[in-house]
Amino acid sequence: MAKFNKKTVEDLDVNGKRVLVRCDFNVPLKEGVITDDTRIRAALPTIQYLINNGARVILCSHLGKPKGTAKPELSLAPVAVRLSELLGKDVCFAADDEVVGPNAKAAVEAMKDGDVVLLQNTRYRAEEEKNAENFSEELGSLADLFVNDAFGTAHRAHCSTVGVTKFVKESANGYLMAKEVEFLGNAVENPVRPFVCILGGAKVADKLAVIENLLNKADTLIIGGGMAYTFLKAKGYEIGTSLLDESKVDYCKEMLARAEENGVKLLLPVDTVVTKAFPEPIDAVVETEVYDSDKIPADKMGMDIGPKTRELFADAIKNAKTVVWNGPMGVFENPQLAEGTKAVARALAEADCTSIIGGGDSAAAVNSLGFADRITHISTGGGASLEFLEGKELPGITAMTDKD
């Protein structure tokens, strides 16, 4: 676990210091109104700690994909308003299209201990995603210390996640980042067993490295969602018009053999909910049937795991002590095709285990189904948590200052 031996916000002497905090304020907006403030609330413990300990808090984040140009609809101005409400104090918004401009410099210059300033969308600058030294230096010029609390972008080496660390005295993880590292790091490196991993979602290609890494770590690997059909094809089954990654069939055969060699139980769907075609729109009413997974009709498409599979997967979860889940079991956006994902979410909520959901669609599913408060940890970063599960080191974590 040496690679996680990084300073946290509590290891820094922040009193009277200017502290730049990278947050994940990439919130959904509709006509300039924030429709879900979960990510803003997730950043509050770190921000509040810094305020309480006399720091001068300078916040930065990206929002959407402005691709290096100032787009008013992707301004962080609404975030400043919501933050002011949640913190119960004024958050000064530095509205510079160049991010570090005259407004930001003046606002930081005028700060007193405990004040909060929010910079404009870091991706208004084309240099941000290129980790260019000039923008990293500009960000660093505003601060004495840097805190990264944006796990969702920890797998990206950008100016506001990595580059800036060269231009400040010390860098540390915020509370949210430290929590992600603790849960995901322990789950992968030192799980309480039995350790069960559940992978779903559409494509095998998205999870190649994850599957390989977890076959060396997990006791049971459950595969559902669209990616399961390529595995079923690898077993020689008829999968009808279900999603298939033809180029990965041999890879799936290798993984099935590897699981057997490693003594890992690899569970695939034993029955499948099928339709004639993909629902259009996605939540349209469809006619469904259930077939055993080796008997899917040639003209039908697998859309969700069937009732026998729900029971099979739930039994594996019931006996686990650590469970990591990434990816839904079917087209969960359609109420008729959400039962498999619901069953897994319910089994996780009821299990006596450490349950970790790796962001993305799984997190959305658990939130929409009302099980979020019964899950041990829901990751805030889909792509970052996937790379963590692959066993990769994340640049946004490795760039932090090591503990002594």
Residues forming the active site: 39, 203, 360, 383
Question: Which 3-state string (H, E, C) describes 72-123?
Answer: HHHCCHHHHHHHHHHHCCCEEEECCCCCCCHHHHHHHHCCCCCCEEEECCHH
Phi, psi of 322 (to 5 degrees): -135, 130
CA distance 352 to 7: 32
Residues recorded for the chain:
404
Non-local (6+) Cβ contacts of 368 within 8 A are none
CA distance 72 to 120: 10
- Return the structure tokens found at 130: 């290129």
CA distance 288 to 275: 5
- Return the structure tokens found at 348: 């996780």
Task: Specify burial of residue 34 (Cβ count, 10 A radius: 0-12, 13-18, 19+).
Answer: middle
Kindly give the pairing relationship between strand 18-22 and strand 56-60: parallel
CA distance 332 to 336: 8
Q: How far is CA 334 from CA 136, 282, 283, 301, 401, in A?
A: 44, 6, 4, 15, 45
Non-local (6+) Cβ contacts of 179 within 8 A are 377
Q: How far is CA 67 from CA 28, 29, 121, in A?
A: 17, 18, 11
